[in-house]
Chains A and B, each alone.
Chain A
Amino acid sequence: MSVRSGSGKSRITVDISLPTRKRTPWGPVLLKWLCWLAGVMTMGVLMLIVLYILVNGVPEFFFRDENGALQFKDQLFALKYNSKNLSMFPAIINTLLMTALSLLFSVPLGVGGGIYLAEYAKPGSKLVKVIRVTAETLTGIPSIIYALFGMLVFVVTLGIGISMLAGALTLGTMTLPLILRQTEESLLGVPMSYREGSYGLGAGKLRTTLRIVLPVAMPGILAAVLLSIGRISGETAALIFTSGTGTRIAGLYDSGRTLAVHLFKLQEEGRAVGASFAVAVVLLAVVVLMNALSVYIAGKLTTKG
């Protein structure tokens, strides 16, 4: 027997078995086991990737000296890269610099834009709609398009050249919509009564926003920033033609490779597999750290709220 409910085209069909038929239909039960299988597979794949990188990568940080004692391979962290030591130290510093520069660009604009959308703009106005659509568009654009954009606009047209600055501006544009959307959503999640209470005490709009609403929404914004850090430190395609592949610790106007680009270049040049594994371990560690931090902050958010 089948019972139909709902209206219009989106009918919901529910098959039910009558009490006289003791057997439950086996189809859904089978599907349920397929679900579990898929879940286990997903976990398995993650385990496989993480363990594979760790098992092969962690030993690369160490070597045995003449006496057979385990020593730390500090040449991997030598101040200068050369084709012999394959040091990742300059790349680590470049990654930090790149992250800081990109955030310097995207955080003020993203948070500012989010505040405008949530607190000041008339909800439902044309401008707000256009901004939402464009932010969504920006999120969907592939990183290789950002690479072309960065190269054409910052490197060539503005004449900055292949440099950390050009790379940071490109990545800043790329992470902007993420921070903007998350800021807006966190601000909209703050209860109206907070604002009303603040107004009731005589505070103005700006003071209310900055002193009352923004601090409450802070964990959500921080989570977006952490996510952006993860994206920036893992980006390759958008950086190769904007910040380039220079191997030294880079200044603002120099070409410098980040860790992810470093791994990519090591592979492209067919250089030592061992050093590549070591870089992969560091990259993985960055991602795990950022994830753990954002989970921690999100946890704080829920216990507070």
Chain B
Amino acid sequence: MAAACVCILAVGVICYFLFANGLPFFAQYAVSDFISGKEWAPLRGVFGILPMIVGSFVITLGALLLGAPAGVLTAIMMARFSSGKAVRLMKPAVALLAGIPSVVYGFFGLMLLVPFTRSILGGDGLSILVAAILLAIMILPTIIQTSRAAIEAVPNAYYEGSLALGASHESSVFRAILPAARSGIVSGIVLGIGRAIGETTAVLMVAGNQARLPTSLLKGVRALTVNVLLEMGYAADLHRASLIATGVILFVIVMAVNIIFSFYNRRRVLQ
């Protein structure tokens, strides 16, 4: 029954192959030039992924600004401010939102959101703004489900105690329950960040994918993930290695987010 060890094996193999194929690139191309280079011109042998790092960062931040408040508030509403009927309707709805494939999200964005922003705000519509809105929708269910579980796990005594002190229902929810559920809510948001950074297909379809530093929200941008998917099909030699190295950087970023978060969590538990 050591089938469980396959997990360890899988992580080991993923790390090994990713690094074994990605790191040799850095022997030929300095890491600092790779990360801080503003120009991506693989045909001329110039590999700078700063625009992609900034791109991933900007759309993730945008998605978070839009999606996190909406998600947390929805979770509070589902947990504390609604009748059983509304929750019975919303639970499967959120699960459905989580299950819609990213390619369908991308298609929806491309068909509806892109022309919409094009006609209202100008530009060509394939933009940071649309990518951020789409990602915000995609991370909603992750944030809602985790936050809701956290809010419902808060002992009812907190709420009752607050009521007994004379606070209203609303005050009790926001001042007594919410602070107690904080770490769970943060973990939901971190999961959302992970999903937003890692999203590929949907972003590729709506973000325009120009590999340059963005100057406005209506300009297109290329994410790290998109860089790999877009060029892997025809890349060779150093160009191919540079894409795998992009994957390594992405992997390191995702792991860093997770590790920072788990330290944060452990500190809270110890307290």
Q: Report A's interface with B, CB cutoff 8 A.
A: 3, 5, 8-10, 12-19, 24-25, 27-29, 31-32, 34-39, 41-43, 45-46, 49-50, 52-53, 56, 108-110, 112-117, 120-121, 127, 130-131, 134-138, 140-149, 151-153, 157, 173, 176-177, 180, 227, 230, 233-237, 240-241, 260-261, 263-264, 267, 273, 276-277, 280, 283-284, 287-288, 290-292, 294-295
Given contacts A116-B3, A152-B17, contact A235 B171 (CB under 8 A): no
On chain B, the residues within 8 Å of A109 by CB distance are 3, 6
On chain A, the residues within 8 Å of B93 by CB distance are 42-43, 46
Contact of A42 with B233 in the complex, beta carbons under 8 Å: no
Q: Report B's interface with A, CB cutoff 8 A.
A: 1-8, 10-11, 13-14, 17-18, 21, 69-71, 73-74, 76-78, 81-82, 86, 89-90, 92-97, 99-108, 110-112, 137, 140, 144, 158, 161-162, 165-168, 170-176, 179-180, 194, 197-201, 205, 225, 228-229, 232-233, 244, 247, 250-251, 254-255, 258, 268, 271
Contact of A144 with B74 in the complex, beta carbons under 8 Å: no
Report Cα–Cα, A287/B76, bound state, in Å: 26
On chain A, the residues within 8 Å of B95 by CB distance are 291, 294-295
Contact of B104 among A39, A113, A263 (CB under 8 A): A263
Contact of B101 with A131 in the complex, beta carbons under 8 Å: no
**Which chain B residue shows the least CB distance to A295?**
B92
Smallest CB separation, A37 vs chain B (Å): 8
Contact of B170 among A24, A110, A121, A295 (CB under 8 A): A24
Contact of B100 with A115 in the complex, beta carbons under 8 Å: no
Report Cα–Cα, A295/B90, bound state, in Å: 13
Smallest CB separation, A9 vs chain B (Å): 6
Q: Which of A19, A38, A267 has the most chain B CB within a 10 Å cutoff? A: A38
**Which chain B residue shows the least CB distance to A12?**
B179
